[in-house]
Structure 1
Amino acid sequence: MPGSIVVTSLGRVISVRGSSARVGMLAASQMPMSEIRATVGRFVSIRSGASTIVAMITEVSCEDLPVTDTYVATAGVDLLGEILPGDRPKFQRGVTNYPTIGDPVALISAEELRTIYAPTGADQINVGTLQQDRSVTAYVDVEEMLSKHFAVLGSTGVGKSTGVSLLLNEILLARPNLRVFLLDVHNEYGRCFGSRAMVLNPRNLKLPFWLFNFEEIVDVLFGGRPGVPEELDVLAEVIPQAKAIYTQYQNSDRLGLKRADPKAVGYTVDTPVPYRLVDLISLIDERMGKLENRSSRIIYHKLISRIETVRNDPRYGFMFDNANVGGDTMAEVISHLFRLPANSKPMTVMQLAGFPAEVVDSVVSVVCRMAFDFGLWSDGVSPMLFVCEEAHRYASADRNIGFGPTRKAISRIAKEGRKYGVYLGLITQRPAELDATIISQCNTLFSMRLANERDQALMRSAVSDAAANLLSFVPSLGSREVLAFGEGVALPTRLRFKEVPAHQLPRSEATIATVPSVSAGHDLHFVGAVLERWRGATSNRDAAPPESGFERVPPRAPSLMEAPMLQPSQGLDPDRFSLLKKPLR
């Protein structure tokens, strides 16, 4: 065509080594350097025989140039895959025909990029566009991403939560029958999924205490601290017997007045069958009454006191409501938690910020464990995606930090969940603090900006050699920019997440302003209303839920003079009042 610019080779191959090659950049290119922009991160194509090898520039230098005037610079490239010729050219990962010295190298065309990133089937989601060419859509393979787990990594403020909302909304569109369970640590995803999600919090969750296994119930009773060995021995002995007594109550019509020996029933401390607290305390009290040594009774008395203290704490109502009534509600609980049937709400958002700090780890452990066990015993007939936000909190790389059973439950999903239709999505801002074994099971990674060197080092160990050089871009990524690696994407790719509609943007339940509003009306009545909600969270009185404002607060707030003062002499355990340390949402 008259007036058009014929693009000659950008350069030629001057060395090949394993999965990488070195390219000499030619001085006599007919395309202006301002248009070539052969910089780090750009894709190039190498014509080698019948196929076209796709590579990415990872380094550009003008040092140690060959002794010739032919080249103005050299570039290191990683060989990623090749485009095979045919009626419909097809891209495949890996290289079967390696380039030879002198093979021509050119910047990849938009048409070749579309061939690489063309959706291969209906099971693809549109997540954004390529950074190199905004006209090319970036697709992710849902099946590969889910079945082999995925992780979203990024520092605070780079758009990580928005990216998670985008991915999950697209997954729900592509897989409307997939159930999704999201652990929402900061209560920011409640409105992101509209009518497709059910939001759970301490006010509407029922998670009976008897669903907790031995380690989990001990963690609850001892407030996250190590248990007293003597008390644990007693508890381990009486819990199976309390379960047996409850079973006998249920079968009393068939058994008549004859009662079997509780020890012969065969329950363990971890068998998920109901028992009643009144039976548990009665068994402990019975053993205490048989002791002649008064000093030995202290152990039993302390254990009973712990159980009753937690039972009477209104913050634990989601666990201990109807604790003495009984009833095997396990089927109802699992159906409610994991959306079986979905009833047009295939997603569960579990808001954790409202739970007592001492019990959050145990609650997460119970939910993770039940998700895996249900998949295991149902043979994976109803697939579920389990998404864990702030994953480093629950599966820390340091075995001395966090709650062991929670790490074990998440690890089981990571290692074996795909066999039973339980898939894992991890979100974290500190990947270096996350258990390396667990993150290594995630075969699709979406990395946003990470400035910490330890985080980058962990990622270098988690991705293939061909993609490792891309990680040098991680500290300089902009907002919404992502490096995507692994099975879910065609190539290690630098892309930009697409815009998320306003109603799908994550936001905290409370909007915190750095400059207080003059018209906010922060008078004594306002302070009194806050105190009413504050006290209501730790008493048996109903308090307005945080997201509903103050509409349910009585017209007259209690004055400060009417508030009972808590004196140190009352012997209150400060750890039981950790709610007071939390900021008001």
Structure 2
Amino acid sequence: MESFRKDVIGRLLWAEADPNTRFKYTIWFDYTRKLVNDLHEGDLAAVPNFATDSNGIRYSILQLVTVMPMHYALGTDIKDLKGYPGFVMQAAKSASADWTEQEVESYEDTTKIVCEAIPTNLEYDENNSKEPIQSESAMAMVGKDVYILTSEMTEKIFNRGINKTTENVIVIGDLIRDKNVKIYLRVEDLIKTHFGVFGFTGVGKSNLISTLVSNLLSTSEPIKVVLFDLMDEYTGLLVDQLLAYNGKVICLGEKTLMKPVFDYINDPSTDKLDFAVNTFLKNILLPKGLKGKKVKFKPLIKEILQNNRIKVFEEAFTRTVEDFLSEVWSDVVGQYGSTKKGKLNKMKNDVFGEHLKYELTAELAQEFIEKLGVDEFRSRPIASVTEVLKDPDLKERIRYTLIEPLKQIVESSKLQINEDAKIDIQEIINDLNDESKSSLYLIISHNPHKVRRFASDLGGYLFRNRRLKGLISPLVLFIFDEADQFIPGTPRSDSEKLSKSVIETLTRRGRKFGIGVGIATQRSAYLDTNIMGQLHTYFISKLPRKYDRDVVGEAFSLSPDQFTQTFKFQKGQWLLVSHEATGIDVPIPIQAPNAEDRIKEFLGKQGV
């Protein structure tokens, strides 16, 4: 096996200490247009190091983190362009020819490809045939030739120590610059040491989560995935997995479902089915690449409904009036100034104050509705309520943020749900502990507080159950999309405190019992830093806000230079960093498969 690419030789010109990566190296290559298109961030380079002796050469293996063509006739800094404009423009015009004329041979000393590189902490010993890749024993020597590793050698290093025969592994993607290099992840380490997906809107977070879930469920060992889907966007992206692995969509309360859909699952009948399917299809969220195939989802949705894959979870726990207010009050007061907030707080105290510790029953909820009386008879006038209702803006605000939630409590108490349509926590726990098969659960709700409370109940119950029984399998993965809604640095509501607490427990102690956590968010700056520190695998894409990058970088000891390559990433490209799940713990730029292609292929196989 060839170790180095032919005819690609650079020179190591500089080395300096770096607190994050030990060293930072500067490498120059003679410029050609072919080479500038062949060199990419993430490439591995080999440089003789100080452990080289008479027995043979030992090469430090470095990773390129920036690749930039430079023309030194134009200077080395943007400040050099502040000279006389005529001279600068003429120099730029002359320089432009050098870029195009040096196609495969370099002959201009003023053009270089300047690369920054970091150590992988590995070295290649060309004379050790048994174990040529070892831990680095010395730093690279400045002034020595630099060689770029071949695809075969690169894959061997990135997947070092991963045994595809004895370990449960998945392919997460290809190296961005080289589709021939497959990147593998150890499934158990990925789940049990937890992972995070960080990227701005439009980079493909949901797409990557869909791919991860699909790959995990398709492994040889049973795996359970529970995905908390606040935006209800994964039904379409995981429709194939829902059908293949007896997946279930758990709706927290019947209000989560469109009425025709709920009417069908609560009382299945042929005459209701088409209306339910069409309503579901009309409201399903699909990525742009699948919207044109929306009609092809119809038979799949029909199968999901007919096979009883949508379940309603009825809240069995009780909550106090104080609990209810802690959930809704931030929405009630919003961004109002002190005057309006004062009126609302006075109303809250007068209407709810003496009942704070009471259980919020349907009867008590109805009593509060009558006291507030926005559109109906008020049981008795309350001065502070009258004052609020005089303001049209405040009146509308309490109608939708306070009275509507109270009405839902009243209506839910009157509704009878078919036993076949319901599911309880014990049934879910039993399945999560069933080692005979893989399972997928999507948790959705119209009310984010319910999702957070359910996460607390389910996560806490499973953790206690496994700890008491000493269970460690099968592996269970809890995925929290929009994670800033579950683990905020500063929780405001009781439900945020509950979800944050259980996720902190699972990330600290869940691995002992085969429980892992995955999170995805575009606002890493809002997350709890203690929980961030528990994640051992990161998928990072574009993060335009510096503070978001700083939080991720600090949690994983990444330098600003290592983020630079993410600025150029296209959708589906990720910087993968892992202490445990990959073969090497340096950033790996990968291209993940497009989940939309998987769904299209599935639709084709279904004949739709």
Q: State yes or no: 1:231 paired with 2:335.
A: no
Q: State yes or no: 1:45 paired with 2:46.
A: yes
Choose from 333, 337, 347 the match for 2:440: 347
Map of 2:605 onto structure 1: none
The alignment partner of 1:377 has SS state of helix
CA distance in 2, matches of 1:192, 1:448: 26
Q: How does 1:438-449 map to 2 (within 5 A)?
A: 438-449=531-542
Map of 1:58 onto structure 2: 65
Choose from 540, 554, 561 the match for 1:469: 561
- 1:223 and 1:359 in contact (8 A); partners too: no
Q: Which amino acid aligns with 1:442?
A: L
Choose from 391, 395, 411 the match for 1:313: 411
Map of 1:478 onto structure 2: 570
- For each residue in 1:179-227, what CA deviation from the matched residue of structure 2 results, as whole angstroms up to 9, or x when unmatched? 1111122223221413212222245545454446x68x85348753499
Q: State yes or no: 1:78 paired with 2:118.
A: yes
Map of 1:149 onto structure 2: 194
Cα 1:165–1:110 change in 2 (3 A) is: same
Judge which range, 187-196 or 374-383, deviates more: 374-383
- 2:13 and 2:143 in contact (8 A); partners too: yes
- 2:48 and 2:141 in contact (8 A); partners too: no
Q: In the TM superposition, what is the alpha-carbon distance from 1:174 to its structure 2 partner?
A: 2.1
Q: State yes or no: 1:97 paired with 2:189.
A: no
Choose from 569, 584, 587 the match for 1:492: 587
Map of 2:295 onto structure 1: none
CA distance in 1, matches of 2:524, 2:491: 15
Q: Which amino acid aligns with 2:229?
A: D
Q: How does 1:268-283 map to 2 (within 5 A)?
A: none
The alignment partner of 1:224 has SS state of helix
CA distance in 2, matches of 1:314, 1:134: 54
Q: In the TM superposition, what is the alpha-carbon distance from 1:317 to its structure 2 partner?
A: 5.9
The alignment partner of 2:222 has SS state of coil
- For each residue in 1:1-53, what CA deviation from the matched residue of structure 2 results, as whole angstroms up to 9, or x when unmatched? xxxx96263113543435224345265x9xx4522554554332212224332
Cα 1:218–1:406 change in 2 (3 A) is: farther
Q: In the TM superposition, what is the alpha-carbon distance from 1:167 to its structure 2 partner?
A: 0.8
Q: In the TM superposition, what is the alpha-carbon distance from 1:444 to its structure 2 partner?
A: 0.3
Q: Which amino acid aligns with 2:185?
A: V
Q: Which amino acid aligns with 2:482?
A: E
TM-score (norm. length: structure 1): 0.62
Q: In the TM superposition, what is the alpha-carbon distance from 1:109 to its structure 2 partner?
A: 2.0
- 2:313 and 2:424 in contact (8 A); partners too: no
Q: Which has the higher contact order (CA 8 A, sep 6+)?
A: 2
Cα 1:308–1:64 change in 2 (3 A) is: closer
CA distance in 1, matches of 2:177, 2:150: 11
Map of 2:9 onto structure 1: 9
- For each residue in 1:461-486, what CA deviation from the matched residue of structure 2 results, as whole angstroms up to 9, or x when unmatched? 12234x65221222321011111011
Map of 2:163 onto structure 1: 120
CA distance in 2, matches of 1:321, 1:493: 50
Cα 1:312–1:229 change in 2 (3 A) is: closer
Q: Which amino acid aligns with 1:195?
A: A
Choose from 359, 366, 374 the match for 2:457: 366
Q: Which amino acid aligns with 1:54?
A: I
Q: Which amino acid aligns with 2:439?
A: P
Q: In the TM superposition, what is the alpha-carbon distance from 1:371 to its structure 2 partner?
A: 3.2
Map of 2:467 onto structure 1: 376
- 2:41 and 2:589 in contact (8 A); partners too: no
Over aligned residues, Cα RMSD in angstroms? 4.1
Map of 1:219 onto structure 2: 323
- The runs of 5 or more residues in structure 1 that have no matched partner are 240-276, 282-304, 323-327, 507-585
CA distance in 2, matches of 1:505, 1:316: 42
Q: In the TM superposition, what is the alpha-carbon distance from 1:311 to its structure 2 partner?
A: 5.2
CA distance in 2, matches of 1:24, 1:71: 13
- 1:224 and 1:359 in contact (8 A); partners too: no
CA distance in 1, matches of 2:413, 2:499: 21
- The runs of 5 or more residues in structure 2 that have no matched partner are 78-108, 255-309, 331-347, 366-402, 602-608
Q: In the TM superposition, what is the alpha-carbon distance from 1:79 to its structure 2 partner?
A: 0.7
Map of 2:129 onto structure 1: 87
Map of 1:273 onto structure 2: none
TM-score (norm. length: structure 2): 0.60
CA distance in 2, matches of 1:221, 1:310: 15
Q: In the TM superposition, what is the alpha-carbon distance from 1:363 to its structure 2 partner?
A: 2.8
Q: In the TM superposition, what is the alpha-carbon distance from 1:405 to its structure 2 partner?
A: 1.3
- 1:219 and 1:362 in contact (8 A); partners too: no
- For each residue in 1:104-161, what CA deviation from the matched residue of structure 2 results, as whole angstroms up to 9, or x when unmatched? 2122222320211344333221122101212111212222211210011222222211
CA distance in 1, matches of 2:463, 2:439: 17
Map of 2:504 onto structure 1: 411
Map of 2:548 onto structure 1: 455
- 1:310 and 1:316 in contact (8 A); partners too: no
Q: Percent identity?
A: 17
Cα 1:25–1:307 change in 2 (3 A) is: closer
CA distance in 2, matches of 1:446, 1:310: 39
Q: In the TM superposition, what is the alpha-carbon distance from 1:441 to its structure 2 partner?
A: 1.1
Map of 1:166 onto structure 2: 211
Q: Which amino acid aligns with 1:170?
A: N
Q: How does 1:284-295 map to 2 (within 5 A)?
A: none
Q: Which amino acid aligns with 2:15?
A: S
Q: Which amino acid aligns with 1:46?
A: V
CA distance in 2, matches of 1:229, 1:366: 28
- For each residue in 1:415-445, what CA deviation from the matched residue of structure 2 results, as whole angstroms up to 9, or x when unmatched? 2211222100101122112222212211100
- 1:46 and 1:106 in contact (8 A); partners too: yes
Choose from 198, 201, 204 the match for 2:248: 198
- 1:11 and 1:26 in contact (8 A); partners too: yes
Q: Which amino acid aligns with 2:411?
A: D
CA distance in 2, matches of 1:469, 1:391: 26
- 1:184 and 1:351 in contact (8 A); partners too: yes
Q: Which amino acid aligns with 1:42?
A: D
CA distance in 1, matches of 2:486, 2:322: 17
Q: In the TM superposition, what is the alpha-carbon distance from 1:381 to its structure 2 partner?
A: 2.7
Map of 1:188 onto structure 2: 233
- For each residue in 1:255-295, what CA deviation from the matched residue of structure 2 results, as whole angstroms up to 9, or x when unmatched? xxxxxxxxxxxxxxxxxxxxxx89x99xxxxxxxxxxxxxx
Q: In the TM superposition, what is the alpha-carbon distance from 1:388 to its structure 2 partner?
A: 0.8
Q: Which amino acid aligns with 2:563?
A: L
Q: How does 1:531-542 map to 2 (within 5 A)?
A: none
Map of 1:540 onto structure 2: none
Q: State yes or no: 1:22 paired with 2:25.
A: yes
CA distance in 1, matches of 2:503, 2:532: 11
Q: In the TM superposition, what is the alpha-carbon distance from 1:234 to its structure 2 partner?
A: 5.2
- For each residue in 1:545-578, what CA deviation from the matched residue of structure 2 results, as whole angstroms up to 9, or x when unmatched? xxxxxxxxxxxxxxxxxxxxxxxxxxxxxxxxxx
CA distance in 2, matches of 1:384, 1:449: 29
